[in-house]
Structure 1
Amino acid sequence: MTERRNVIGRRTLIGGIAGGMTAAVLGAPAIVSAQGTYPNKAVRYINPFPAGGATDTLSRLFCAKLSELSGQQWIVENRGGSGGNVGMEALMQSPPDGYTLGLGGIASHAISPTLYAKLPFNAKTDFTFVSRIWQLPNMLVVNLDIPAKTVAELIAFLKKNPGKYSYGSAGNGTTLHLSGELFKMMAGVDILHVPYRGAAPAMQDLLAGQIHMIFDNIPGALAQTRPGKVRPLGVTSKERTPVVPDVPAIAETLPGFDINSWTTLTGPAKLPPDIIARLSELSKKALESEDLKAKFLDLAATATWSSPADTAAYRDSEEARLAPIIKASGARVE
C-alpha cells in the first residue's frame, strides 16, 4: 500500500510540474483551481451562424490560435438561426465554468434588443463579455441581371422599380439585414428583405437569381466577385477598405452610412473572475499575434482586443447608437 501511495504521489507531482511547464512554455500563467489548470480539457465555442460564412472562417482561425496557446482544443460548434439568437440562447444556458463560450457581437447583442419584440435572453446581463475579436465591413453586391454599375445607378434603378426587387441577408437582426434597412431608409428605395439562416445560403440564391442583391461580409462576397459571378458596388464602412480599394464606400454616395460587424468572445453570466482573467490574457496574445492579424486582414477583418470592462461598455454604446436607426427604418420582428 505504501509503495502504491508513493507511485500515485510521484505521478501527481510529475503531472503538476508538467502542467506548469506547459503554461510557462505557452507564455501564459496557469489558473489553478480545485478542478486543475484552466483549461484542462476541450473548450466548446458556439458560433451562432452556419458553417461556410465569414464568421465561421474567422472563428476557426481564432480558435486554432487559442488551441495553440492554451494547449487544449477549442472546438467550433455551429448553431445558426434567428440572427444569432439561437446560439446565444444555448450559450446563456450553459454552465459558467469556462468550457462553453461563444461568438457574441453586434447582431445578437446590439441589434436584436431593439429589433426583436421578444428575446430569450437579456443581451446585457445574461452574458460575460471577455474581449472583442474582430471588426469587419460588409459589401453590397448585385447579381448580373441588375444593370447598375454604381451605388448611385442602383438607387436610381430601384426608384424606377419600387417593390420589384429584393435583397437577402444572413437573417433578421444581422448586420447584413441592418445594412439593407439603413440603405433603404437613406436611399429612399422600396426593396423586399429576404432573411436566410446564414450568408452562404443567401449568396447561393443570389447566384441563382432568386434574389437581386445582398449585403455580405467581405470574405464571402469576394469569393464570388473575384470570378465575376456577382458585381460589387460598395462597402458599408465609412471609408474604403484596403482589401478592395477599387470598391467605393457607400458613404461616398450616402454620407453618414456606416455599419461594421464586430464580434466578442462571450460566456454565460457569472464566469469566475480567474477564468475571465485567463481568457482575457489568452485572447490578447492571440489577437496581437502577427500571424493571426495577417490571416484576419486577408479576409478584410481587423483583429481587435479589448478588456472585459471595455468590451461590455462598447456593447452598451453600440446598442444605444443603433437603436434609433433600427426604429427609424421600421424594421421589427414580433
Structure 2
Amino acid sequence: YRGGPEALTDVIAGRIDSTFTDLAAGLAQAREGRVRVLGLSTAQRFPLAPELPIVAETVPGFSLTVWFGLAVAAGAPPAMLARANAALNTVLREPQIRERLGRTGYTTIPGTAEAARAWIGDEMRRYAQLAEQVGLERQ
C-alpha cells in the first residue's frame, strides 16, 4: 500500500484482515464501528481514547512510535536549517495548533535538529536489535 488510508479502506471493505494505521485515521473509523481496534502501538493508553487497549498489554515492552518531521537536503546551509527549525518550533508551541492536533491524536514535540537526529539514531539502533533478535537480515 502507498499509505495507511488505502490499507484502512481495504480493511473496512473486507479485502484484508488487518492493518496498522495512525490514530487520526483509525479512531474515527473505530468510533463509527467500521473497524475494531486490537491495540494501539503507544507505550501507554492514549488520553483521547483511554478505552482502547495497547499492544503492550498483550506483548510486554511493545512500543512503536509513529512520527513526522521536517527534513531538508543534507547540504542545506546551517542558517537556513536554524530558521526553518525556529519557525516550526514557533508553530508547534501555539496552543491552538497543539489543541487541534491533539484532538486528532497527534502530539507536538518542538525541539532541535540535533535532538531529532539523536532520537532517530536511537530508534534505528533499537529496530536493528529487534530485527537481529527475530533473525531478519539486511538484503
Q: What TM-score do you get using the length of structure 1 for normalisation? A: 0.40
Name the counterpart of 1:326: 131
1:301 maps to 2:69: no
* Rounded Cα–Cα distance in structure 1 between residues aligned with 2:12 and 2:131: 28
Distance 2:79 2:95 in 1: 27
Correspondence 1:269 to 2:74: yes
Aligned residue runs from structure 1 range 107-118, under 5 A: none
| Corresponding residue SS for 2:79 | helix
Once the two structures are TM-superposed, the CA of residue 327 in structure 1 deviates from its matched residue by: 3.3
Q: Which residue of 2 aligns with 1:209?
A: 14
Counterpart of 1:141 in structure 2 is none
Q: Which residue matches 2:41? A: 236
Whole-Å Cα distance in 2 between the matches of residues 266 and 332 of structure 1?
28
Any conservation in 1 of the 2:41–2:65 contact (CA below 8 Å)?
yes
User: How do 1:161-240 and structure 2 match up within 5 A?
Assistant: 196-240=1-45
Instruction: Say whether residues 1:249 and 2:67 are aligned partners.
Output: no
Residue correspondence of structure 1 range 7-46 to structure 2 within 5 A: none
In the TM superposition, 1:75-114 aligns within 5 A as: none
Deviations 1:182-231 (A, max 9, x none): xxxxxxxxxxxxxx111111111111211111111111111211110111
Corresponding letter in the other structure for 1:318: E
Give the equivalent residue in structure 2 for 1:289.
Answer: 94
How well do the aligned residues superpose, as a CA RMSD in angstroms? 1.6
1:333 is displaced (CA, Å) by 7.5
Aligned partner of 2:115 in structure 1 is: 310
Distance 1:311 1:214, change over 3 A: same
Q: Which amino acid is the alignment partner of residue 76 of structure 2?
A: L
Measured in 1, the distance between the counterparts of 2:134 and 2:66 equals 19
The residue matched to 2:121 in structure 1 has which SS?
Answer: helix
Q: Secondary structure at the match of 1:317?
A: helix
Same amino acid, percent of matched pairs: 30
Deviation at 1:269, TM superposition (A): 0.7
Shift, 1:328, TM fit: 3.2
* Separation (CA, whole Å) in 2 of partners of 1:211 and 1:332: 27
Change (3 A) 1:264 1:226: same
Structure with higher RCO (Cα < 8 A, 6+ apart)? 1
Q: Secondary structure in 1 aligned to 2:52? A: coil
Using structure 2 for the length normalisation, give the TM-score. 0.92
Report the 3-state secondary structure (helix = DSSP H, G, I; strand = E; otherwise coil) of the residue aligned with 1:215: coil
In 2, the alpha carbon distance for the partners of 1:198 and 1:333 equals: 23
SS in 1 for 2:60: coil
**Structure 1 outlier segments of 4+, above 6 Å:** none
What residue ranges of structure 2 are gaps of 5+ in the alignment?
A: none
Structure 1 pair 333–212 and aligned structure 2 pair: CA distance change class (3 A) = farther
Structure number having the greater strand percentage? 1
Give the letter for the 1:267 counterpart.
V
Measure how far apart 1:329 and its partner are. Answer: 3.8
* Residue identity opposite 2:47 in structure 1: P
